[in-house]
C-alpha cells in the first residue's frame, strides 16, 4: 500500500471541513427565506406598446380633402384621437370598436397632425403622432351667404352665392346635401339652383313676418369644379321684417304699395317705353338693394356713347329690382308723363317726393310685382325665385 504524504493529508482535511461548514451555514436545518431559489435572477420589463395604424400614413402629401382619415389600434385599446390642421381647425370623428373615422372633410393646402393615445395589451399608455398634407388645388373656391345679418322683406330667399360656377351636377348635389336652413317658426321650403353660381332656399309661400332664419354651410373640402376646392365653412342668419308688397301696372302707369295686406300708397309712374330693349319686364321681382345717388349710364347695358338710345344721367332714391338695370327712382324730368305715358329706358320713374317715400320704406327682399308688359322677366335677371311655381322651384334642386 502506498504511503500518503503529509501535504495530501492536510488538503483532504481542509476539503472535508469546508463541506461541513457549507452544510451548516444557516445554523439550522431550515432554508434561508431570503436566499434565491435558483442560479438565475428575474428582471423587470416594459409592457409592449399598442400598435396603431393611421391612414393617410405619416409623411403623406397631396391627400385629397374629401378622403377619410382612419386610426386603427391593431394591438391594444384606443383611448383618444385628435386631428388638428395647421390653422387650428379640428376634424371631428366617431369611434367604432378600436377604429376612429373622420366625420368631416379637410381644408386644401393644409398640414394635419394626428395624435393618438392607446393602451397597450398589457397596460401602459402609448402616444403616436403623425402628420400629412392635403392637396394644393389650382383654385380655392370662395362663396358667401348673401344678406347675412340683415332684416329683409318677405320675398327674400336664403342665398348662397359662389364666386365662380359650380360646374358639375354631382358637385351641386353634394353641396346641396351638406347645407341646411333652420327657421322659427317652422317653414316649408326647398333648395334650388337659380343658376350654377346661386343656390337658394325659397319658402313655399312668402315668409311670415318675424321669422328667424339660420343658415349653415359646412362645405370645407367640397369640390366646385376641376381642381377647385372650398377651404372655409360659413354660417349666417337673417330676420324677416314686415310684409310690404308693391305692384306696378305698366299699362295703367300706376304703382300701389300694401302693408299687411292693406293698400297704403298709390303713385303715378312712367315705365319703359315700347321697344325690344326699353320695355319694362313683367314678373314677380324682389328688391335687391338701394342706392341714394347714382349715375345711370347706358354703356353698362351695351348702348355706348354716340349710339341710338345712349344716355348718362344722375338719379336719386334708386331702388334696384333687376341686375339688368331696372330701378324705381326719382325722375323729375318725366313728371308730366307719369300716370299717362311710358317714356323711360326700362326703369320706373316717380316724382321726387314719391320716390323718396318708396326708397325710405323699402327693404331688400320686398316683392314688387310688374304686370302689363309682353316682355317677361327671366329668373336669372334678378332674384327670380318667385317666377317659378312651387312645383317648378322644387325641380330646380340638384336632388330632384
Burial category of 251 from C-beta neighbours within 10 Å (exposed 0-12, middle 13-18, buried 19 and up): exposed
Catalytic residue among 150, 329, 345, 361: 329
- Residues 6+ away with beta carbon under 8 Å from 74: 51, 52, 53, 98
Distance CA 221, CA 155 (A): 32
- 170's CB contacts (< 8 A; 6+ apart) are none
Q: How far apart are CA 110 and CA 124, in angstroms?
A: 33
**Cα angle value 281/285/291 (rounded, 5°):** 100
The active-site residue, picked from 135, 253, 345, 347, is: 347
Provide the grid cell at 128: 403616436
Does residue 329 carry a catalytic annotation?
Answer: yes
Helix (H/G/I), strand (E/B), else coil: 31 = coil
Task: List strand residue ranges (DSSP E) for 32-146, in order.
Answer: 51-55, 70-75, 77-85, 90-91, 93-96, 99-102, 111-119, 125-133, 139-141, 143-146
Distance CA 54, CA 37 (A): 47
The sign one gets for the Cα dihedral 155, 159, 163, 169 is negative
For residues 291 and 268, what is the distance between their CA atoms, to the nearest angstrom? 22
Measure the CA–CA gap between 134 and 293, rounded to whole angstroms: 48
d(CA 104, CA 217): 12
Yes or no: say if 161 and 198 are a contact pair by the CB < 8 Å rule.
yes
122: burial class by Cβ within 10 Å (0-12, 13-18, 19+)?
Answer: exposed
Cα first-last separation, the chain = 122
* Helical ranges in the chain per DSSP H: 6-23, 169-178, 352-360, 390-394
Residues 55 and 74 sit within 8 Å (Cβ to Cβ): no
Is residue 150 part of the annotated active site? The answer reads no
Residues classed as catalytic: 329, 347
Amino acid at each position: 500500500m502506498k504511503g500518503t504524504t503529509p501535504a495530501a493529508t492536510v488538503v483532504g482535511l481542509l476539503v472535508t471541513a469546508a463541506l461541513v461548514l457549507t452544510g451548516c451555514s444557516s445554523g439550522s436545518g431550515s432554508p434561508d427565506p431570503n436566499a434565491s431559489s435558483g442560479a438565475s435572477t428575474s428582471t423587470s420589463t416594459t409592457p409592449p406598446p399598442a400598435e396603431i395604424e393611421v391612414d393617410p400614413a405619416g409623411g403623406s402629401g397631396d391627400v385629397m380633402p374629401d378622403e377619410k382619415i382612419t386610426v386603427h389600434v391593431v394591438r391594444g385599446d384606443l383611448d383618444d384621437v385628435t386631428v388638428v390642421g395647421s390653422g387650428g381647425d379640428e376634424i371631428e370623428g366617431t369611434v367604432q370598436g378600436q377604429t376612429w373615422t373622420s366625420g368631416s372633410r379637410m381644408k386644401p393646402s393644409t398640414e394635419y397632425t394626428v395624435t393618438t393615445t392607446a393602451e397597450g395589451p398589457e397596460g401602459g399608455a402609448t402616444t403616436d403622432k403623425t402628420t400629412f398634407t392635403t392637396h394644393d388645388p389650382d383654385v380655392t373656391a370662395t362663396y358667401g351667404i348673401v344678406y347675412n345679418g340683415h332684416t329683409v322683406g318677405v320675398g327674400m330667399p336664403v342665398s348662397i352665392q359662389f364666386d365662380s360656377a359650380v360646374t358639375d351636377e354631382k358637385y351641386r348635389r353634394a353641396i346641396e346635401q351638406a347645407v341646411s336652413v333652420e327657421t322659427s317658426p317652422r317653414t316649408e321650403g326647398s333648395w334650388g339652383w337659380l343658376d350654377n353660381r346661386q343656390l337658394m332656399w325659397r319658402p313655399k309661400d312668402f315668409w311670415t313676418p318675424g321669422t328667424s332664419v339660420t343658415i349653415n354651410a359646412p362645405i370645407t373640402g367640397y369640390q366646385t369644379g376641376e381642381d377647385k376646392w372650398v377651404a372655409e365653412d360659413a354660417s349666417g342668419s337673417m330676420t324677416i321684417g314686415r310684409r310690404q308688397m308693391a305692384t306696378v301696372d305698366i299699362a295703367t302707369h300706376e304703382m300701389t304699395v300694401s302693408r299687411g295686406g292693406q293698400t297704403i300708397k298709390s303713385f303715378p309712374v312712367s315705365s319703359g317705353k315700347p321697344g325690344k330693349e326699353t320695355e319694362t319686364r313683367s314678373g314677380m321681382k324682389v328688391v335687391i338693394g338701394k342706392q341714394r345717388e347714382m349715375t345711370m349710364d347706358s354703356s353698362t347695358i351695351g348702348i355706348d356713347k354716340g349710339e341710338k338710345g345712349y344716355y348718362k344721367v344722375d338719379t336719386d332714391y334708386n331702388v334696384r329690382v333687376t341686375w339688368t338695370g331696372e330701378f324705381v327712382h326719382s325722375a323729375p324730368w318725366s313728371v308730366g308723363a307719369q300716370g299717362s305715358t311710358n317714356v323711360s329706358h326700362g326703369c320706373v320713374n316717380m316724382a321726387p317726393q314719391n320716390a323718396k317715400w318708396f326708397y325710405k320704406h323699402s327693404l331688400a327682399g320686398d316683392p314688387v310685382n310688374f304686370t302689363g308688359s309682353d316682355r317677361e322677366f327671366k329668373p336669372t335677371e334678378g332674384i327670380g325665385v318667385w317666377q317659378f311655381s312651387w312645383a317648378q322651384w322644387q325641380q330646380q334642386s340638384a336632388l330632384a
